Amino acid sequence: MTATLTKPDIDTPYALSADQIAFFREEGYIKLKNVLSAEALEYYGREITRMVKALNTQNLPLEQRNTYGKAFLQIGNIWTKSELVKEFVFGKRLARIATELMGTRGVRMYHDQALYKEASGGLTPWHADQYYWPCETHQTVTAWIPLQATPLEMGPLAFAAKSQRFKQGRTVGEISDESERELAKMLRERNFDLVEEPFDLGEVSFHYGWTFHRAGNNSSGRPREVMTVIYMDQDMRVSEPANKNQVNDLAAWLPGLKPGDLAHSHLNPIMYSA
């Protein structure tokens, strides 16, 4: 008799406490242990890595790239190109956590994104994701999902706690050496705490779109493989683009929509609704 193969669990609820939800809303980020099993990360991670290799167009050696190019290989909306990645990205566990942390009725997809920091890859400068996003409110959150245990030498994500309220920093431009210098200085002068810690296998972080964060270089000798899913309030509306990056994002991730529209194109399905 042949054994029936079962998929790793990515849909059952993850029990969040009231204290964890309060921590997220106050600090702007949270790291949660044992969100995904080793089996799930292995099962889906193989396909994510396969797709990153297939879709990557970055062929320059590291030493010939700029700071952004050295930070990671970046591949977006992989869910539209692989049914197995779509299955992972549409898992209810992560989407429900995002919904409960923000306190919304539910969440939509903004987009997914693989961020693979190569061996000897450089730092990811300070930035806030929502600088790039034409979203009307702050109710956006990124799930940052390492596909392996991530010690400090691999460049885990680091956060400036409570910085989601730091509006002055939002005038700093896109991810660059300049953003690293300017934001590091601003955040230090205003005494924001830097939280930089390893990630255990199965640990996942969530941060608001306006929470400032960075990652160190990868000196481990092997790739730091990370998948992300960016969620937004299911009632999110499109804002007037505030910069050229938001114009580009509107076209890429919210196609056919205009300011004032519900953020609902064919690329923005509801991922979980309470």
* Domains and their CATH numbers in the chain: 26-258 (2.60.120.620)
Q: How far is CA 261 from the centre of its chain?
A: 24
Decide if pLDDT at 61 tops 70.
yes
Tell me how far apart the alpha carbons of residues 238 and 255 are, in angstroms, rounded to a whole number. 11
Decide if pLDDT at 4 tops 80.
no
pLDDT confidence of residue 30: 98
Tell me the CA distances in angstroms from 135 to 25, 26, 70, 86, one per residue in order.
18, 21, 28, 23
pLDDT confidence of residue 2: 44
CA neighbor of 220 nearest in space, from 146, 127, 155:
155
Strands 73-76 and 106-117: antiparallel
Question: Which of the 8 DSSP states describes residue 168?
Answer: G
Tell me how far apart the alpha carbons of residues 102 and 94 are, in angstroms, rounded to a whole number. 13
Q: Which of 67-81, 86-100, 194-208 is least confident? A: 67-81
User: pLDDT band for position 156 (50/70/90)?
Assistant: very high
Q: How far is CA 114 from the centre of its chain?
A: 9
Residue 16 in tokens: 């969040």
User: pLDDT band for position 5 (50/70/90)?
Assistant: low
Enter the pTM of the model.
Answer: 0.95
What average pLDDT does this structure show over 193-221? 97
- pLDDT over 90 percentage in the chain: 91
pLDDT confidence of residue 38: 98
Tell me how far apart the alpha carbons of residues 96 and 73 are, in angstroms, rounded to a whole number. 28
